């Protein structure tokens, strides 16, 4: 995507791509794709409610395709608070069944970190093919969030992102790390093109619970189609039961 593409056109184009995925179980879009992850200037005017234009077209697209749809995230306008970076999950009947407000805001003392509110809730979503654990982009750097998602039953970690090209190695490395660490599938969907002039890395990837990359996109915009068996999560956890050895309550440091 390019900064020059108006949000309405981008929504229509993304909806057509979703509709074309009939037969899939789950479709995932990236973070903040309607306005752009680094397009800070567009956020205030372009923020929308949970029943706004993105939710409308995505609900219809999920229903038309008959798929579970993680529609990436929007800049959510909360009438009673700040804006949030909010992910939307639709059922195959087009119902908005889950939302997740990004917990860790990127930018340190600028950008998202000052323009948006922080989410406060861990969110999982039960589907016919397993429990999704929701996280967004910069969240990927915080393993404690993924441990909390694991404890909440997550088997497939779905991570939309707007991750820049200059840190692409971190993106692929951390996606694999989270898969190995939680013995879960990681479905990491990144933007391509430019957001607010920042070149995006693309390279969406799907990683299995052993850390094997099942598929990885290139840097440009593309639809990545991957077939895998969700039951592999239970098999991996049984065959290599590392999670049983967790120390639930790390001992306090000893003063010497």
Ligand X SMILES: NC(=O)CCC(=O)C(=O)O
Catalytic residues: 31, 102, 137
Task: Write out the residues near ligand X by the rule CB under 6 A.
Answer: 31, 37, 106, 137-138, 141, 162-164, 167, 170
Buried b (16+ CB within 10 A) or exposed e, 162-187: bbbbeebeebbebbbbbbbbbbbbbb
Burial group, residue 250, by CB count within 10 angstroms (0-12, 13-18, 19+): exposed
**Which residues are CB-neighbours of 165 under 8 A, at least 6 positions away?**
199, 200, 201, 202, 219
CA distance 222 to 218: 8
Closest contact distance (angstroms) between CB of 191 and ligand X is 9
CA distance 109 to 105: 10
């Amino acid at each position: 995507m390019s900064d020059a593409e108006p949000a309405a056109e981008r929504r229509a184009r993304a909806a057509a791509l979703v509709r074309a995925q009939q037969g899939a179980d789950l479709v995932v879009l990236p973070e903040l794709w309607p306005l752009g992850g680094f397009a800070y200037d567009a956020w205030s005017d372009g923020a929308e409610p949970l029943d706004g234009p993105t939710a409308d077209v995505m609900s219809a697209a999920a229903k038309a395709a008959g798929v579970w749809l993680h529609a990436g995230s929007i800049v959510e306008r909360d009438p009673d608070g700040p804006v949030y970076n909010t992910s939307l999950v639709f059922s195959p009947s087009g119902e908005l069944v889950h939302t997740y407000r990004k917990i860790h805001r990127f930018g340190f003392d600028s950008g998202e970190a000052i323009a948006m509110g922080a989410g406060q809730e861990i969110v999982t979503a039960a589907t016919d093919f397993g429990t999704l654990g929701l996280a967004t982009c910069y969240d990927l750097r915080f393993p404690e969030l993924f441990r909390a998602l694991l404890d909440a039953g997550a088997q497939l970690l779905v991570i939309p992102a707007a991750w820049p090209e200059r840190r692409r190695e971190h993106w692929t490395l951390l996606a694999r790390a989270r898969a190995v660490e939680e013995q879960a599938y990681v479905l990491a969907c990144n933007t391509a093109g430019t957001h607010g002039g920042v070149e995006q890395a693309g390279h969406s990837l799907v990683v299995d619970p052993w850390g094997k990359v099942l598929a990885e996109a290139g840097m440009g915009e593309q639809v990545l189609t991957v077939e895998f068996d969700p039951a592999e999560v239970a098999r991996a956890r049984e065959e290599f039961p590392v999670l049983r050895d967790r120390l639930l309550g790390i001992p306090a440091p000893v003063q010497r």
